Chain A
Amino acid sequence: MHEQQRGWRQIKLAIIAATLLSPTSLHAASCCGGGSSSSLMLPKTATAMIDLSINQEIYNGFWEADGTRAEYQQGSDLKQFRLNTGFAYRLADNWQTSIVMPYTWNRNKYSGIERNTHGLGDTSISLLYEAFDDITCVWKVRKLSDLKPSIYWGASLILPTGTSPYDNVPDDFDITGRGFYRVDGTLHVEKTIYPFTAAVTFSHGVHIKRSVNREKSNYVEPYNKQLGNRTSITTAASYTYFMESLDTLTATLSYNYLTEGKSTIDGVKDSASGFKKNSISTALAWSDSDNQWILKLSWSHTIDRDNWGENFPITDVFTTGVSYVFQ
């Protein structure tokens, strides 16, 4: 293979890997505070990137606290749509920052009520350090250093820009955010040996304790509340197919485990809080030969069986997205 062509493909793989294998987002139930955003990951060769995606989340039931699967009431139809707008920017050779803002539409129908509400979700701001200087994708492992992975580590701050239960809302159907700041530490490791890529992402988040003086439309005696710590582990594998035109198609399969500990209210644990969730995702991405446009389709599925989650909705999330990369 021609060296220039090989280098071009190397860059393309890095871009695809960065945009597809970045940390997955939490898609919580609208009644539990949905609309969270995920962080963006900028490819090594890029200076900036705009990312737009639309999620449709369909609720198929929920897990009770003991992991038992339960159905929503007959006739219920719960959906959430999100428009996620993201922008990533390279600050220095190995440093990048990004912001993702979701806008959320809740479409909820129970037998006795039908509500359509919308609003800004919680915003995510991230700072990532790339612990490598050159693209690490290789076609063949010839020496030990060819096994060196791309390692990213960094931090994210979730800003409570959504509508939470602590805002002036009539009920839970209006909620698009959780109402808490959260700081996440993230470690992302990925390796591409053409045409395969594997990645692992670990993140741990701590919610910041806050005062609450309002519960929806009622002011209450102020108290302190802190949501539990959150841990997420994602493993992903992908295969990239190069077309004649140098456009690419990449298929990805990933698994995510997400858990959040119990909240505390004035130091007392809230036994009804906390959750666990296992999900499997597939994604397909097309990238043009200029490495500028990336179109993405994905489907995230939570396993619809007992003990695959606790205290959390069972959902399918369908995502369509487009990224524009500034080289």
Chain B
Amino acid sequence: MSSNNLLFRYLTFSICLFYLTACGDIKNDLLPSDSDLRESVESGTIGHRPSQISAEFQVTSSEGDLFTLSSYLENGDTPTDAIVLYFTMWCPICLGHSDHMFNTVMPQFRDRGDITFVLVDHISGSIALTRASEIASGYSDSEFITLADTEHTLLNQFHASNGTTVVISATGEILLNEDYRTGKNLIKVLDDLLAQ
């Protein structure tokens, strides 16, 4: 057998072995499923899924104020119709989403109801850095409240990741918990809520 063939076989075997060991759970993408695999949840129980009730939380804003969920609910000090949480790490896609929310979604609700839009910074690790990112991204004087989720309180509570959008009604019910996508679902949820 020539040295070329030996080299070829050795390399092929080694490479196949390496990649076979690297193959994890890739069938989700190779064979995408359209089955709805969400587990059913009991409405009104405490949890992170739509139809469940959000647990109470307290997180500090970029300006050092304490943001307490119950304050914004129907019996709170500053009640609103809904709270929208958007989880950001200030990346290109995140800024695309938050810009879309700011320019397209928020104007539709300025004169209808009272919606509190919140950016949840889950990446910066300090209030000062959250404030710096908020300013750098052009949101310092906007209607957004920016929270520094330094302990990942909200990230864990809502099983969120970058781009997750959560809507909580005045009763504390979670109406939406999914990736931002196009903003269409967010608008529909808020429209439906205000139409009630």
Chain A residues within CB distance 8 Å of chain B:
29, 31-32, 48, 50, 62-65, 70-75, 85, 87, 101, 103, 110-113, 119-120, 159-168, 170-172, 177, 179-180, 210-223, 265, 268-273, 275, 311-313, 324, 326
Q: Chain B nearest CB: distance from A145 CB in Å?
A: 35
What are 11 pairs between A and B in contact, CB < 8 Å? A62-B92, A64-B95, A73-B129, A110-B125, A120-B26, A160-B26, A166-B28, A179-B29, A212-B32, A218-B159, A220-B178
If A74-B132, A216-B161, A217-B159 touch, does A111 touch B32 (CB 8 Å cutoff)? no
Q: Please, how many residues of chain B have a CB less than 8 angstroms from a CB on the other chain?
A: 58
Q: Within residues 3 to 49 of chain B, which ones have a CB less than 8 A from any CB in chain A?
A: 4, 7-8, 11-12, 15, 18-19, 22-26, 28-30, 32-39
If A172-B162, A218-B159, A271-B182 touch, does A73 touch B90 (CB 8 Å cutoff)? yes
What string of 1s and 0s marks CB contacts (under 8 Å) between B115-140 and chain A?
00000001111100100110011000
Nearest CB in chain A to that of B97: its residue: A272
Asked whether, in the complex, the Cβ of A65 is within 8 Å of the Cβ of B35, the reply is no
Q: Chain A nearest CB: distance from B7 CB in Å?
A: 7
Asked whether, in the complex, the Cβ of B129 is within 8 Å of the Cβ of A112, the reply is yes
User: Which of chain B's residues have a CB closer than 8 A to the CB of A72?
Assistant: 90
Asked whether, in the complex, the Cβ of A32 is within 8 Å of the Cβ of B93, the reply is yes
Assess whether B89 is interfacial by the CB under 8 Å rule: yes
Contact of A32 among B19, B36, B92, B159 (CB under 8 A): B92
User: Which of chain A's residues have a CB closer than 8 A to the CB of B104?
Assistant: 271
Asked whether, in the complex, the Cβ of B23 is within 8 Å of the Cβ of A120, the reply is yes
Q: Chain A nearest CB: distance from B60 CB in Å?
A: 14
Contact of A214 among B15, B37, B89 (CB under 8 A): B37
Asked whether, in the complex, the Cβ of B178 is within 8 Å of the Cβ of A215, the reply is yes
Assess whether B181 is interfacial by the CB under 8 Å rule: yes
User: Which of chain A's residues have a CB closer than 8 A to the CB of B136?
Assistant: 70-71
Q: Chain B nearest CB: distance from A136 CB in Å?
A: 27
Bound-complex Cα distance A269 to B182 (A): 7
Asked whether, in the complex, the Cβ of B29 is within 8 Å of the Cβ of A120, the reply is no
Asked whether, in the complex, the Cβ of B178 is within 8 Å of the Cβ of A110, the reply is no
What string of 1s and 0s marks CB contacts (under 8 Å) between B135-158 and chain A?
011000000000000100000000
Asked whether, in the complex, the Cβ of B177 is within 8 Å of the Cβ of A163, the reply is no
